Structure 1
Amino acid sequence: MATVPLDTPNDGALQLVCLCAGWCTACAAYQPQWATWAARHPDVAFIWLDVEDHADALDAAVPGGVDIENFPTLLLSRGGQPLFFGTVLPHASVVDGLLRQGANLPLLKDAAAMQLCAAVDGLLGCGALQRSLS
């Protein structure tokens, strides 16, 4: 799987971010499935974000810091607006269903999720993150 900088993070396409940590064994187990989903859904930008590697930027963008209770946590957004934010186990049918519903999901009105979307877009815009391509 190749990665390239995402030039237009707010282009209206679905974007799925996996918020993870390098020490997390569940996140490590998630990565092979992540590559499969990226290949299965080429119209979705898949982003792997290690919250510890980008802690300073996330803390600066999200007052009070990013509150992640369990790893891995997914953030699904469209056009910089959050649609889903929560922990999802790496079952293909669950994530595939979430992506199928993505275009029809209502926007989340959660302030922290909206700030997190802005932080991710900022990291993408400056080249600190990359999206996965199949």
Structure 2
Amino acid sequence: MTFARLDPWNDAAVIAARLKSRSARLVLIIGAESWCETCRALGPVFDTLAQQSSKQDDTWLWLDLEDHADFLDNFIPDSLPLLMSYSGAELSHAVIPTRVTEADLLELLARPSVIEHSNLPDVRGRLMANDWAL
């Protein structure tokens, strides 16, 4: 079985429907695999974790700065990759991972909250917007 990343350009309605659940968790990376070495190293790790996620309410997304610039309103983080996670409607993680192994990411996501960055776009809100998911 081949794993395919969900993409807001192609899977908007599916993503919006998944995020409507109050117990939904959104895990996303904002990165740039074409020129960021850390992002390239993290990509396969992120995909493996997304594929292995057994929670039906989990949605894992990779947003590329180049491919999703319009979606992100040209937001560029201070550093890459930026890991964001939402528990329901609440932002619980906004951090640049310093290590990119599966164990390190799972350990980071297991923390109740790690928010080291502010002035972030409301990615979850945008993913759930009616105009986007039509």
| TM superposition score normalised by structure 2 | 0.68
3-state SS of 1:56 partner: coil
Q: Contact 1:81–1:117 (CA<8 Å) still a contact in 2?
A: no
3-state SS of 1:96 partner: helix
Q: Deviations over 1:41-72 (max 9, x none)?
A: 2323110101222222322xxxxx53411111
What residue is the counterpart of 2:29 in the other structure?
Answer: 18
Q: Answer yes or no: is 1:48 the counterpart of 2:62.
A: yes
Q: Deviations over 1:75-98 (max 9, x none)?
A: 011223210101013122221113
3-state SS of 2:39 partner: helix
Q: Contact 2:45–2:102 (CA<8 Å) still a contact in 1?
A: yes
What residue is the counterpart of 1:2 in the other structure?
Answer: 4
1:76 maps to amino acid: S
Bigger RCO of structures 1 and 2 (CA < 8 A, at least 6 apart): 1
1:105 maps to amino acid: S
Offset at residue 24 of structure 1 (A)? 1.7
What residue is the counterpart of 1:130 in the other structure?
Answer: none
Offset at residue 121 of structure 1 (A)? 3.9
Q: Answer yes or no: is 1:92 the counterpart of 2:115.
A: no
2:50 maps to which of 13, 19, 38 = 38
Instruction: Give the number of aligned pairs.
Output: 117
CA RMSD of aligned residues (A): 2.8
Question: Judging changes above 3 Å, is the alpha-carbon distance between structure 1 residues 25 and 105 closer, same or farther for their aligned structure 2 residues?
Answer: closer
Unmatched segments (≥5 aa) in structure 1: 60-64, 128-134
Q: Deviations over 1:18-54 (max 9, x none)?
A: 1011322221121111122113323231101012222
Larger % of helix: which?
1
Q: Contact 1:10–1:78 (CA<8 Å) still a contact in 2?
A: no
| TM superposition score normalised by structure 1 | 0.68
Question: Judging changes above 3 Å, is the alpha-carbon distance between structure 1 residues 68 and 40 closer, same or farther for their aligned structure 2 residues?
Answer: same
